[in-house]
Amino acid sequence: MFMSSEARHSWSAAAVGDAQQAEYIGFLHREPFVIDAYRLGFTVGVREDYTYQSSLRNVEVPIEILDNDFRNPDLDRYIERFERYEPSVGMLGDAYDQQEARRYNQAGRELKRKFPGTEVIIVPKCHDAIDVIDEDMILGYPMGYSDQTAEEYTDIVDWRGRRVHLLGASPTKQYPVIEELTQPRVTGEEPADIVGVDWNGVHLAALHGEYFSPHGYGSADHLSIRETVRESLRHIRSYWKSRGVWPTAETERNPLTAEPMDPVWAADGSRATVDGLEDAIVVEYENGQTLAYRSQHERDRVEYRAGLIPTEVHG
């Protein structure tokens, strides 16, 4: 079987290396974890319905990635918040059919027109949605705990030749997919361009007393929650650097030189301390309160007595 010059080009190590090297490695969470991630070189952000980390008074944590509220999607609301924060990367939404894909695609065009240089991610959740999405948009490749993972409704070749962001799953699970998306094929399809990846599972692992490493999870009984997350982030950075996925292009970043000052109130009425927050269950409520609990029992008792309705739980 003979291949064209374009197909032969896809076999070159340089081309594969370029395709595998991401422009950013994402981490979406709350402070203080997002502060450490930012300092380590991750591209940081929040989901559109998060408010906790964007209200800090003495630390300006940049919202570089704005994710959508996938449980309660509202494109108009998302665009309003996008225009407020002006992130460099916008995760616009999940397209379960061609009609949704066309709507997100049109919205993506408008955002890219109004905010030149912005990257827009659209997640096709059916095979037919892929071809509706413009070539300059990034396709979100769902992994992890997505309600539908990419392998359920597509073949790997459907993503080849496109700009791709891997959503969810640990780096050691993401990298084999990156190889499938970029390695030479005898049929000659050009590699996908891996623009970015993200995974936020290190906080959950920390709550279970473990940090992530490429060789398995390690015990973190001697570390605080924050230290455990930071250790995982260091291992993630080291792993992606060893695989040639970590970005080499340095972006201009303002150093974060201070710790957050905004108070979170403990459920007993006292101001929560930094050390206490690291091990606390922090809950945001419909009435605007943010309370920190020392245990699930304490949370259940306070919520029952006060009739509080939670909107977001951290920790």
Q: What is the pLDDT of residues 32-44, one digit of tens each?
A: 788 889 989 999 9
- Predicted confidence (pLDDT) per residue in 81-94, tens digit: 999 999 999 999 99
* CA–CA separation, 314 and 291 (whole Å): 10
Residue 254 placed within a domain: no
Domain range for 136 is 5-242
Position 54 confidence tier, pLDDT thresholds 50, 70, 90? very low
| Whether residue 280 is found in the same domain as residue 226 | no
| Whether residue 282 is found in the same domain as residue 172 | no
> Tell me, what DSSP letter sits at residue 246?
S
Residue 282 placed within a domain: yes
| Whether residue 17 is found in the same domain as residue 150 | yes
Position 306 confidence tier, pLDDT thresholds 50, 70, 90? confident
Q: What is the CATH number of the domain that holds 186?
A: 3.20.20
pLDDT at residue 53 in the model:
47
pLDDT at residue 59 in the model:
60
Residue 250 placed within a domain: no
Show which of 242, 257, 283 is a domain's final residue: 242
Instruction: Name the burial class of residue 255, with classes exposed (0-12), middle (13-18) and buried (19+) by CB atoms within 10 angstroms of its CB.
Output: exposed
Q: Which amino acid is at 306?
A: A
| Whether residue 205 is found in the same domain as residue 271 | no
Residue 9 placed within a domain: yes
| Whether residue 215 is found in the same domain as residue 283 | no
The pTM score is 0.78
Better pLDDT: 299 or 270: 299
* CA–CA separation, 67 and 298 (whole Å): 31
| Whether residue 133 is found in the same domain as residue 76 | yes
Element (H, E) at 274: helix 274-278
| Whether residue 159 is found in the same domain as residue 44 | yes
254, β-bridge pairs: none
The answer to whether residue 25 scores a pLDDT higher than 50 is: yes
Least confident of 135-139, 157-161, 185-189, 259-263: 259-263
* CA–CA separation, 164 and 180 (whole Å): 12
Residue 301 placed within a domain: yes
The answer to whether residue 250 scores a pLDDT higher than 80 is: no
pLDDT at residue 262 in the model:
46
Q: Across all residues in the chain, what is the average pLDDT?
A: 85
Contact between residue 153 and residue 127 where contact means Cβ atoms under 8 Å apart: yes
Show which of 190, 207, 242 is a domain's final residue: 242
| Whether residue 189 is found in the same domain as residue 272 | no
The answer to whether residue 159 scores a pLDDT higher than 90 is: yes
| Whether residue 58 is found in the same domain as residue 108 | yes
Residue 247 placed within a domain: no
Q: Total domain count for the chain?
A: 2
Least confident of 94-98, 121-125, 148-152: 148-152
Structure tokens at 283: 């809950």
| Whether residue 52 is found in the same domain as residue 161 | yes
Show which of 242, 273, 296 is a domain's final residue: 242
Q: Tell me how far CA of residue 187 lies from CA of 6, 133, 210, 213, in angstroms.
A: 11, 24, 43, 35
pLDDT at residue 2 in the model:
39
* CA–CA separation, 89 and 163 (whole Å): 13
Residue 251 placed within a domain: no
The answer to whether residue 99 scores a pLDDT higher than 90 is: yes
pLDDT at residue 259 in the model:
52
Residue 253 placed within a domain: no
| Whether residue 175 is found in the same domain as residue 274 | no
Instruction: Name the burial class of residue 162, with classes exposed (0-12), middle (13-18) and buried (19+) by CB atoms within 10 angstroms of its CB.
Output: buried
Average pLDDT (47-54) is 64
Burial call 43-81: b when 16+ CB within 10 Å, e when fewer:
bbbbbbbbebbbebeebebbbbbbbbeeeeeeeeebbeb
Neighbour count for residue 149 (Cβ, 10 Å): 17
| Whether residue 289 is found in the same domain as residue 223 | no
